[in-house]
Amino acid sequence: MTKRILIIKLRDMKEIPELVSPAGDLKKLKYAFAFGADAVYIGGREFSLRVRAKNFSRQDMEEGVKFAHNLGKKVYVALNAYLKNDELKKVREYLGFLHDIGVDGVIISDPGVIWIAKKDFPDLPLHLSTQQNVTNYLAARFYHELGIERIVLARELSLSEIKTIKEEIPTLEIEVFIHGAMCIAYSGRCLLSEYFLRRGANRGDCAQSCRWTYYLMEQKRPGEYLPVFEDDRGTYILSSKDLMTLPILKELIDMGIESFKIEGRVKSLHYVSTVTYTYRRAIDNILKGKPIEERLYEELEKISHREYWSGFFDAKDKFTTTYNKMLASKAEFTGEVEKIEETYTYIRVKNRMFAHDKLEFLTPKGIIPYAPPDYFEVFYNETWIKRDTVHPNELIRIKLKVSPYSLLRRLKI
């Protein structure tokens, strides 16, 4: 069995918050770290609330933990499903595996799993999932006294409410979500998916029924469907706007919150890289006393998203939903760096590109504009040929060296 690895904290967490990024698979884990994450949260193929993500095999999980620890970074594992009787024996074995590979924390919701973990693996760090919807300092103290080291607070709290919890329990680590999709139900406890499709949200199988398009129908007029619009009085649509906290990030940092979390284990590689890149630079700018640059706001427009809002952090800002589906992003992920040689960078194409497109590289070191000649060099039939159009899965090369983990994208402007 692998001995647990102790990681020396290189940062004072009370001054510099930990940036925790989502990783739906091993590749996304590596990209998240390359773009500035201090830690990632992942899910195995058991007991995770994202069963439709690719998720980690046990072998990949062990490799991911070793990869992170070699960088001095951390891996947290979501084990936040609510379990049934016949799963308790299996979860004990799974906790033992997580303990043996040295994960840095297990994110738990079910009190029964907390009981097993504290009894059989007392040195395994436990984090309480937002699914447990902690909204006050007495609830936080209750779990802290059970041995919970960190609580991912319910997203429905204001800044002042979080501040009170911090002041009342200074030894407790606090984690909050700072970006990503929001659930229509309190801390994700939704029944819509279960009702329509027998797919339980609290079992990791949410169908996102709240994102569907709904119409009104008057009982005595069957078949006459009335669209539902948002106006000054509100909306009946269930789909929440997406969380984006750049405007209030300094306030969150000043409160001494230990950990900032980005939502999105089922999101794309481009999403994970872009959002991690953006918040890494925003946090670092604030800590240096610099303002958040406008270009960082622009970065968050280059991914698909619903309308943004700053969540419940402002107690005066009421909960809002949006009639719109995903807004069109201002950039499209078109290629992934596969290999770098002395003269060429080799790129695996993800979406069709034309030589006249306005392209740029998102790299861990910054944004690099790229203007191709009137052609791409495409590897086709065992030779390199010139074409002005390339297609998904083709391999191209360019005479520009960029850093590993770079992504190529087309600007839609």
Scored b (16 or more CB within 10 A) or e, 162-200 reads bbebbeebeebbbbbbbbbbbbbbebbebebbbeeeebb
Identify the pLDDT of residue 45.
86
Calculate Rg over the CA atoms of the chain.
Answer: 23
Identify the pLDDT of residue 306.
86
Identify the pLDDT of residue 336.
97
Distance CA 194, CA 243 (A): 25
Identify the pLDDT of residue 220.
78
Distance CA 407, CA 413 (A): 18
* Degrees, nearest 5: CA angle 351-354-358: 95
Which CATH number is associated with domain 18-185+240-309?
A: 3.20.20.70
Identify the pLDDT of residue 236.
47
Is this structure's pTM higher than 0.85?
Answer: yes
- Residue 244 is which amino acid? M
Scored b (16 or more CB within 10 A) or e, 337-348 reads beeeeeebbbbe
Cα torsion 265, 271, 274, 278 to 10°: value is -60
Domain positions in the chain: 18-185+240-309, 331-411
Identify the pLDDT of residue 217.
72
The pair of three-digit structure tokens given for residue 338, joined into one six-digit string: 């596969």
Distance CA 334, CA 104 (A): 34
- Residue 58 is which amino acid? R
The pair of three-digit structure tokens given for residue 238, joined into one six-digit string: 């269930």
Distance CA 319, CA 358 (A): 38
What are the DSSP E strand ranges found in 133-251?
Answer: 150-152, 173-180, 215-217, 225-227, 242-244
Contact predicate 64/56, CB 8 Å: yes
Which CATH number is associated with domain 331-411?
A: 2.40.30.10
* Per-residue pLDDT in tens (0 to 9) along the chain, 413 residues: 444 444 334 344 446 899 999 999 999 999 999 999 999 999 998 887 655 557 899 999 999 999 999 999 999 999 988 898 999 999 999 999 999 999 999 999 999 999 999 999 999 999 999 989 999 999 999 999 999 999 999 998 999 999 999 999 999 999 999 999 887 665 566 666 665 666 666 656 676 666 666 666 777 778 777 666 655 545 545 667 899 999 999 999 999 999 999 999 989 999 999 999 999 999 999 999 999 999 999 999 999 998 898 988 986 665 555 545 667 799 999 999 999 998 999 999 999 999 999 999 999 999 999 999 999 999 999 999 999 999 999 999 999 999 999 999 999 97
SS3 309: strand
Identify the pLDDT of residue 13.
40
Q: Which residues are within 8 A (CB) of 355 and not within 5 positions of it... i.e. 6 or more apart? A: 372, 373, 374, 375, 376, 388, 389
Identify the pLDDT of residue 27.
97
SS3 308: strand
